[in-house]
Amino acid sequence: MTEEEENLINEDLEVELVLEALLKKSDFDYRNYSRSHIKRRLNHRLAIEGYSKYSELIPQIIYNKTLLGKLLSDLSINVTEMFRDPSFFKELKKRVFPYIETYPFVRIWHAGCSSGQEVYSMAILLKEYGLYEKSQLYATDFNNDILEAAKNAIYPVDYIKKYTANYQQAGGENSFSDYYLAGYDSASITPTLKKNILFSFHNLVTDGIFGEMHIIMCRNVLIYFDKELQAKVLKLFAESLVPGGFLCLGSKESIRYSGVENMFDVVSTDEKIFRKRVL
Amino acid sequence: MVTPRIIVVGASAGGLSVLEKIISSIDVLPIPLVIVQHISPDSGDSVLRLLKKYSSIPFTEPIDKEGLEENHIYLAPPDYHVMIEHDKSFSLYLGPKENFCRPAIDLLFETAAEVYKDGVLGIILTGANRDGLRGCQKIKLFHGTVIAQNPEEAQVPVMPKAVVSEGLADHVLNIDEICIMINSVLKGVIDG
């Protein structure tokens, strides 16, 4: 074994110990997250703090609350925008809404809702399709700070231009400005969109089945997990859907490598929409 | 040169026309080839559709957790970093831009080096920033091979020049020579 290969094995051991320490000190369990993602985020913190080894983080995790907070915020990535991937929302309206239109009520779960942009996008879409009043949306995340931000729904006004463009490309039927109140440097989502949304804590790593859902939205969350955890979470989704319920993943995510593939039919290959089979 | 087990290619400004040349020169590909071309987040699959025309080899954007296969060209999708995990599967990553880019060349090159060790052939092409430099450092650390496009020939010399001036390039070649070298290396893989 070369010196570099041995170093790599030692590094992996250090990362494992860092994640154990994080779990014991914070209750956040990152052990089954994609290892390459974790290393990248930890590298970022090492560079800032001027450390050369992952293991130097361990005493900091134990004794330094400030650094622990920073590390947890490094590891929590929240990339989201309203109507992100407009073509997805178009497809949702075309391929999924005609089915749910026939249901007496609709339950939708946004798993890993982050700061809420996607659940509000869904609310707008439902409203324009005349489905909002019979819908109950559940938006969950394992980060309480971000859940609070999602509830408040106040976004920097600089983002509104991008959101508006996305909304239009997604086939929005009104003016996007109908849905927010613009302030000096921020825009807040109008309260009428919040009425049927319930925000709550749920941890995909440790918590169980979440209701009998008609649609589960979980886009660009699974990519943070390793194969094992992905498979576990996809099984949880399969069990949380009614027969005929829809699962929506991110454009580069798949059910192919998880063992639940045979429980679903593909509704849209490009937009990663799947439908649970009626057995 | 150690017989490579993967080829990784990084290109930025001016990259499309040289990628066309490289791709169309390859007839058989007994190992995986992964490309990062810097692109705007909104460009959809336009680059994929363009480059696909130059090859009959399967050519896709990788899906998260998909295993790397031989006889397959992969192109990093817009707005995602592409990394390789220890089990030789792809990991798509929405972490911050690096060197102002997502996808960034460094993330692909560094993780390829950690997984494929000395079996990486990294090729750094035309471009206007220094993305790929740290990736090439890692490839050299693990005794892989680095080819830089001749900065004098490159449409934008900054990117290959950074790698050459740090002494990381095993070969500094014009694009036609790069194509010849790739194909002779691939022939070496087939002949064992």
- The whole-number average pLDDT for the span A188-198 is 97
Separation CA A66–CA A49 (nearest Å):
12
For residue B55, the model assigns a pLDDT of 96
Is the minimum CB–CB distance between A162 and chain B shorter than 8 Å? no
Give the nearest chain A residue to B44 (CA atoms): A85
Residue B38 a catalytic site member: yes
Question: A88-132, pLDDT tens digit by residue?
Answer: 999 999 999 999 999 999 999 999 999 999 999 999 999 999 999
| A77 to B142: CB separation less than 8 angstroms, yes or no | no
List CB contacts (< 8 A) between A77 and chain B: 94-95
Task: State the residue range of the domain holding B183.
Answer: 6-191
In a domain, B1, yes or no: no
Among candidate residues B38, B55, B72, B106, the one labeled active-site is B38
Per-domain residue ranges of chain A = 3-75, 86-276
Residue B17 a catalytic site member: no
Interface test with A, best of B64, B81, B109 (most A CBs within 10 A): B64
Residue A208 pLDDT class (50, 70, 90 cuts): confident
10 Å Cβ neighbour count for B25?
A: 16
Inter-helix orientation angle A35-49/A3-26, to 10°:
90
Domain count, chain B: 1
Q: Which of B21, B39, B128 is nearest to B82 (CA)?
A: B39
Separation CA B49–CA A243 (nearest Å):
37
10 Å Cβ neighbour count for B118?
A: 18
Q: Which of A233, A237, A246 is nearest to A278 (CA)?
A: A246
What backbone torsions phi and psi does residue A207 show, to the nearest 5 degrees? -90, 165
Residue A279, exposed/middle/buried by CB under 10 A (0-12, 13-18, 19+)? exposed
A77: pLDDT strictly greater than 80: no
Question: CATH number for the domain including B132?
Answer: 3.40.50.180
pLDDT: which is higher, A106 or B44: A106
Helix (H) or strand (E) holding B60: strand B59-60
Separation CA A205–CA A203 (nearest Å):
5
Question: A237-276, pLDDT tens digit by residue?
Answer: 999 999 999 999 999 999 998 889 999 999 999 999 999 9
B54: pLDDT strictly greater than 80: yes
Separation CA B10–CA B135 (nearest Å):
10
DSSP B189: H
Pairing mode, strands A135-141 and B33-37: unpaired
- Is the Cβ–Cβ distance between B118 and B4 less than 8 Å? no
Residue B89 a catalytic site member: no
Task: Name residue B10's beta-bridge partners.
Answer: B36, B124
For residue A263, the model assigns a pLDDT of 95
Name the architecture of domain A86-276: 3-Layer(aba) Sandwich (3.40)
Pairing mode, strands B6-11 and B145-149: unpaired
User: What is B84-108 written as a DSSP string?
Assistant: E-TTSBEEEE----BTTBSS-HHHH
For residue A211, the model assigns a pLDDT of 82
C-alpha distance from residue A151 to each of A11, A93, A115, A195, B77 (Å)? 39, 25, 8, 11, 32
In a domain, B167, yes or no: yes
For residue A172, the model assigns a pLDDT of 95
Q: Given A223, A226, A227, which is nearest B92 (Cβ)?
A: A223
3-state secondary structure A2-35: CHHHHHHHHHHHHHHHHHHHHHHHHCCCCCCECH
Is the minimum CB–CB distance between B80 and chain A shorter than 8 Å? yes
Judged by average pLDDT, the poorest of A57-71, A200-214, B56-70 is A200-214
End-to-end CA distance of chain B: 13
3-class secondary structure, B175 = helix
Count helices and strands in chain B by DSSP H and E runs: 6, 9
Q: A with B: how many residue pairs have Cβ under 8 Å apart? A: 67
Separation CA B60–CA B32 (nearest Å):
12
ipTM of the complex model? 0.91
Inter-helix orientation angle A35-49/A65-75, to 10°:
140
